[in-house]
Structure 1
């Protein structure tokens, strides 16, 4: 029997009082705080909440958690919900194997371990042994592995550690043969690539070594003037050499040693789109003692350039330069004038060239995005001719491993109903042999009990928007089922099919529907899709999402009072803007780590980098459209005595990506303007996590607790029974 339907009995629905009032904390408003933007006065009465260290802010956080916690904890299904999530989460999870030196490595999680463990194998038949277990680094799992890098000979392992979800990293080095760490630790590392010289001693990283004040993830100050440093293995960080810097304080610098080992490729970026391109010649036999001499190739922020590989001086890049769906170009670093650039793989007029990976010396593994689903092919690196098509189901290629000189590669594939499947591909002459290396089993999950489909609906301006819908087979369109609608819509991010236990729990145990809308602002259809949701076109994202809600109601998948919406980060902005603009469309809203003050976001931590998607209130034309939708500044009393949907904000004290002040100020304003209305019976609450950040590296226990609280909130707010 299926894991959900084994010994099924439906609990008798427990009726909650949805029409109830809340005694929200009394919050000080400082009406004297205001800014003037181009002649328009904008008040900011809760600016004091921007100081995370003040006693008043700490008291505010405690007061908010003290009303949220009882509401969530009183859900009668809480233990059943947590038990079901825990049970279904408890399945073995494996990454693709990756080979370095003469050994294979793989991330594994037995099921409920807080952090995945790296195992090492001498060959693929070995069971393997533990190489690095981050669970031993903290009692609560809040120290996580971030980016990692092996030296070219595979004998040294550089690994970054993040504490409490912060973007700050400390880099350590491990001797692969002995298992011992080298004595040095590199600190104040952030937004950094990691790349080794081919002498296996020199190491490049990016850092903010001159930053003063706190650097633990709880600060709100911006990190500026990143520099690239050269570190020699076995020496103290104080001896590291500053090798690359730029005058612009907002630039972050990608630095990658070429496959041949004689170039350092530099891709400076100022925002979240469009790179510069420089290179420096390096000699792996010489120690670097001073700044590198840079050669500029691209000096204007106009396009993306993603290094793939090089053959001697000919370098191959994935780019959207004159190609909104991306292409692969060749630049000869001995003759790098743009007029001399060549194209290896032309832009596809319909499908987005999503990724390229070199393998077997002369082969390019290229993935495309076709209507939000991956296809994968092999091309000849010399001629650009297609050599092979992989036969993929509807879903996503999640990761690919293998180096240029390897004659094998691994890739993982998943879909909404198919957990991670790992394939091994072997190359022998002209032969390409593909086998299943590992299939993930999730309890007794029976995927045949569910349906997944993709629909296209019309947005406000007539644009066709794709949306995936998951439901039980035999589902009847009568508008009676709850629905959870998810969206993001920004920063060229693609939301492709992926496996999630929590989605299936919502579909099965709440007898619901899950919908994922691929709205504009993402990269699902290349630059045109991204640009359709940037700058003054951001309203398209909100229109697309609201149109998704209307479609689901009109087609009788659900009803407005049973429709929950969810989004995080930029998706949190999406959710908050939509409940401001059309509160009547939704029954509940889950707004996670959202960007909610669009007039001041750029003043905190990495916020300045988002100006390439949002614009900036310091510019008059951009201020005017930001002010129109900024969630903090557009909370309005609904018409016709309506009310806001039940709303839960989530943030965390070490989120140094989207700092908590966004959520704190928004909930304060929301409770002041909306929570005090006599007709507002739906709760507007916030959950503030400790020792957690934006999401990356979050331990399993915290993930399960958060999912439990979200489902409990939805269950209580919408009076939804949970069947065990």
Structure 2
């Protein structure tokens, strides 16, 4: 929801270096936004939408508005003294070699590497033992400014052919192309109009299955048009896309999405069926020998994730009748639920993911958010747990069915991502690569606490800071959160977080309801008409930090992205008293019209839709755009990008204009609008560093603090 060289400045400690309250910068006059008399009757309620004209992203009026807002925000941010010092420290911390966990295809090993400040990580191919690594694909060569990014790769079973997707300027639209890795020569094949799809190779490496939408009709805006009727196609190498074979479609289900992959034994095409962002899915399979498609799971009642199969026995990770997750076996010749066999039962910890390696289920659990990895044989017998290098997150588990070992990544908020290897024979975890970074993790603390929300719910939160920090009640604090779509915020390392801690800041991440940290029940408690629980969990986290001496409301910053941007909009309109600054980034802020653009309709299982009267009542009650009133708001920086075709930027445009219009206090309200960027995926390193620089500078300025000339 991702190498410059410079001379290091003299090193100094920022913590405790504070000034008296500063006046807001006034480098230019806040732009005025034209208000129009647009009023809609929604279920008997008159709803004003004075900035509806900003939904026309291609109009000259919108372009002029964006230009004036960019000038205003640039003037404000560039006027903050020593902003460049923050950028220098983040750049120094970011500049280290990063490696992914390797994976095997045929006789070759593949991995990603970034030398430090490359815009995009580079894909390498080496011999199976890791020797003789060669560049397979360098996405940094695809554009001069790094704004063309890899959106996905798929390598044929023998390691010869590479299919890769690219997206431009952060768009969700992908174009897939092909490369012969033996010769390094590109193929002429090009696949277009693809969103939310990977490519899966057939057994012989002659072609791929993929999903796509129809090309937009002439005159339709591909950045705003709703996307329906996804279809599964097969593409054979060396042919034009117009010759691709339609494999599966449902003309009666416009909002069904499809993912297709080949089973490990090469006998079946597995078809996942989703409905928007609903975590529940269907599961079909096509017998490639007969071409017959079987609807094995035909009801949207739970999640089902294929892990592997032995002939007709399919293994699934599921939360069917197990909100915390379990592993089951289904014999497709006897598919009735009465015949399903439970292998790994539900436990008190949440099953986050599972893989089938060395004829074992490698299961990643979340134990109060933190990672635990357990091993089970094919009969479900528990054979052991991995000894992990600390309290943090495990990702990127990489291994094949018959491998005797696997690789994985481990990191935390204060530990950079490192590669580890587990060997089944020795039952040992060994370090493979440890990054060489410009800080010592031992100088920092990342602790987990639990607090009580408004309704008595116990909520976990990770709090990170530099050792020696005193609970003075006056520490600058950044409270980041998400809370939705069954997405868990497990510990994740970012060099920018270390820079914030070096500035004397506290970084706190609560695990709000709406996520998957405690299974499907936790998710459901933060969706639809229960969305207010998410907001209340967030406010309780802020109050915990204040009550326990970390900070106060004059030193508290609120930040979230996408669905977390919605949370920020709610925080601004519901509890402006809690925060000195609020930063909604690429946020869903107009809850009455979000479903009308691009893939917004897919979020209705999570949010509901204002097209329905019952949903309208609660959506209207919290929709950030519709709850802005004349009052004194904290400093606000609304963040978006001109190529965001997931949460279209009109959300942020309209919200920023409304808050600017209604602001009664002296705090600034600015719109930071990026050019040639999207929702966040594939953003070049330089752009990411500049974004963090501006976030921290904006917060520091509005905490009434001076940025010093050195940060360490």
2:390 counterpart of 1:397: no
Does residue 355 in structure 1 map to residue 353 in structure 2?
yes
Aligned counterpart, 1:635: 628
Contact preservation (8 Å) 1:297, 1:337: no
Matched, 1:198 2:203: yes
Q: 1:62 to 1:442 in 2, by over 3 A?
A: same
Q: CA shift at 1:17, angstroms?
A: 3.8
Matched position secondary structure for 2:571? helix
The separation in 2 between residues aligned to 1:220 and 1:668, in whole angstroms, is: 20
How far residue 339 of structure 1 moved from its aligned partner, in angstroms, is 2.1
- Are 1:542 and 2:535 matched, yes or no? yes
Correspondent of 2:86 among 78, 81, 84: 81
User: 3-state SS of the aligned residue for 2:176?
Assistant: strand
SS in 2 for 1:505: helix
Q: Is the 8 A contact 1:75 1:715 kept in 2?
A: no
CA distance in 2, matches of 1:707, 1:187: 33
Moved more, 54-63 or 8-17: 8-17
Normalised TM-score (structure 1)? 0.94
Report SS of the residue matched to 1:610.
Answer: helix
- Residue 441 of structure 1 corresponds to 436
Aligned to 1:604: 597
Do structure 1's residue 220 and structure 2's residue 224 form an aligned pair? Answer: yes
1:340 aligns with 339
> How far apart in 2 are the matches of 1:189 and 1:20?
44
The alignment partner of 2:701 has SS state of: helix
1:479 alignment partner, SS class: coil
How far apart are residue 424 of structure 1 and its match? 1.8
What is the deviation of 1:409?
Answer: 1.4
CA deviations 1:529-569 (Å, max 9, x no partner) are 10110001000000010111111111110010110010000
Q: Quote the Cα distance in structure 2 between the aligned partners of 1:378 and 1:4.
A: 46
Would the aligned equivalents of 1:354 and 1:367 in 2 still touch at CA under 8 Å? yes
Structure 2 CA distance, aligned partners of 1:243 and 1:647? 49
Structure 1 CA distance for aligned equivalents of residues 317 and 163 of structure 2? 27
Q: Distance in 2 between matches of 1:644 and 1:388?
A: 53
Q: Is the 8 A contact 1:452 1:470 kept in 2?
A: yes
1:251 matched to 2:256? The reply is yes
Residue 408 of structure 2 is matched in structure 1 by 411
The alignment status of 1:533 with 2:526, answered yes or no, reads: yes
Other-structure match for 1:501: 495
2:479 aligns to what?
485
Query: Residue 71 of structure 1 is aligned with which of 71, 76, 79?
Result: 76
Corresponding residue to 1:697 among 682, 687, 692: 682
Question: Does the 8 Å CA contact 2:24/2:702 hold for their aligned counterparts?
Answer: no
Shift, 1:620, TM fit: 1.1
State the alpha-carbon separation in 1 of the partners of residues 670 and 449 from structure 2.
33
Residue 101 of structure 1: how far off its partner (Å): 1.1
Q: 1:229 aligns with which of 219, 230, 233?
A: 233
**Structure 1 stretch displaced more, 128-137 or 118-127:** 118-127
Q: CA deviation at 1:449?
A: 1.5
**Runs of 5+ consecutive residues of structure 1 not aligned to the other structure:** 287-291
Q: Which runs of 4 or more aligned residues in structure 1 lie more than 6 Å from their structure 2 counterparts after TM superposition?
A: 3-6, 214-217
Aligned mates of 2:42, 2:58 — CA distance in 1: 28
SS at match of 1:456: strand
* 1:6 CA displacement: 7.3
CA distance in 2, matches of 1:243, 1:419: 43
The residue aligned with 1:289 is none
Residue 223 of structure 1 aligns to a residue whose secondary structure is coil
1:386 alignment counterpart: 382
Match of 1:662 among 635, 640, 651: 651
How many residue pairs match? The answer is 698
Contact 1:96 / 1:399 at 8 angstroms: preserved in 2?
yes
Query: 1:24 Cα shift?
Result: 2.1
Alpha carbons of 1:684 and 1:660: their partners in 2 closer, same or farther (altered >3 Å)?
A: same
1:96 equivalenced with 2:101 (yes/no):
yes
Find the aligned partners of 2:492 and 2:619 in 1 and give their Cα distance.
Answer: 32
Confirm or deny that 1:24 pairs with 2:30.
Answer: yes
Secondary structure of the structure 2 residue equivalent to 1:716:
helix
Q: 1:10 to 1:469 in 2, by over 3 A?
A: closer
- Give yes or no for the alignment of 1:374 onto 2:379: no
In 2, the alpha carbon distance for the partners of 1:567 and 1:416 equals 17
Shift in CA distance, 152/252, structure 1 to aligned 2, threshold 3 Å: same
User: 1:13: Cα distance to partner?
Assistant: 5.5
State the alpha-carbon separation in 2 of the partners of residues 17 and 457 from structure 1. 33
CA RMSD of superposed structures (Å): 1.9
Q: CA deviation at 1:719?
A: 2.2
Residues 201-248 of structure 1, C-alpha deviation per residue, up to 9 Å, x if partnerless?
A: 13100001343247996x111111100001111211111011101121
CA spacing shift, 1:46–1:560, aligned 2, 3 Å: same
Equivalent residue runs for 1:39-438 within 5 Å: 39-126=44-131, 128-213=133-218, 219-246=223-250, 247-272=252-277, 273-283=279-289, 293-348=292-347, 350-360=348-358, 362-381=359-378, 383-392=379-388, 393-428=390-425, 431-438=426-433
Cα distance, 1:504 vs structure 2 = 1.5
CA distance in 2, matches of 1:707, 1:585: 22
- For 2:502 and 2:32, locate their aligned partners in 1 and report how far apart those are by CA, in whole Å: 40
Contact 1:18 1:718 in 2 (8 A): no
Instruction: Say if 2:387 and 2:429, in contact at 8 Å, map to a contact too.
Output: no
Alpha-carbon distance, 1:721 to partner: 2.5
- C-alpha separation in 2, matches of 1:206 and 1:695: 22
SS of alignment partner, residue 111 of structure 1: coil
Shift in Å at residue 131 of structure 1? 1.3
Conservation of the 8 A alpha-carbon contact between 2:14 and 2:502: no
TM-score normalized by the length of structure 2: 0.95
Give the direction of change, closer, same or farther, for the CA distance of 1:149–1:440 in structure 2 (3 Å limit): same
Contact 1:168-1:215 within 8 A present in 2 as well = no
Deviation of the 1:299 alpha carbon: 2.1
